[in-house]
Amino acid sequence: MRVLRTLRDLHAWSDAERLAGRRIALVPTMGALHAGHAALAAEARRRVDSVCVSIFVNPSQFDVRADLEAYPRTWEADLARCRAEGVAAVFAPEAEELYPAGHATWVEVQGLSEPLCGRSRPGHFRGVATVVAKLLAAARPHVALFGEKDFQQLAVIRRLARDLAFDVEVVGVPTLREPDGLALSSRNVHLGPGTRPQATALVRALDAAEAALAAGERRAAALLERVRHEIAKAPDAALDYAELRDPETLQPAGLLLSGATLLALAVRFPREGAEPGAAVRLIDNRVLQPQPPTEERT
Within the chain, which residue ranges are assigned CATH 3.30.1300.10?
A: 186-297
Domain with CATH 3.40.50.620 in the chain: 2-173
Bridge partners for 29 per DSSP = 55
Q: What percentage of the chain has pLDDT greater than the value 70?
A: 98
List the catalytic residues: 37
Query: Is residue 280 within a helix (H) or strand (E), and if so which, with residue range?
Result: strand 279-288
- Give the number of other Cβ atoms within 10 Å of residue 264's Cβ: 22
Tens of pLDDT, residue by residue over 42-83, are: 999 999 999 999 999 999 999 888 889 889 999 999 999 999
Identify the CATH class of 2-173.
alpha beta
Q: How far apart are the first and last CA of the chain?
A: 56
Q: pLDDT grade, residue 293 (50/70/90)?
A: low
**Max Cα distance, the chain (Å):** 65
- The proportion of the chain whose per-residue pLDDT surpasses 90, expressed as a percent, equals 91
Q: What is the pLDDT of residues 101-121, one digit of tens each?
A: 999 999 999 999 999 999 999
pLDDT of 13 = 98
pTM: 0.94
Give residue-wise pLDDT tens across range 135-158: 999 999 999 999 999 999 999 999
Residue type, 63: D
Q: What is residue 168's three-state secondary structure? A: coil
Give the architecture (CATH level 2) of 186-297: 2-Layer Sandwich (3.30)
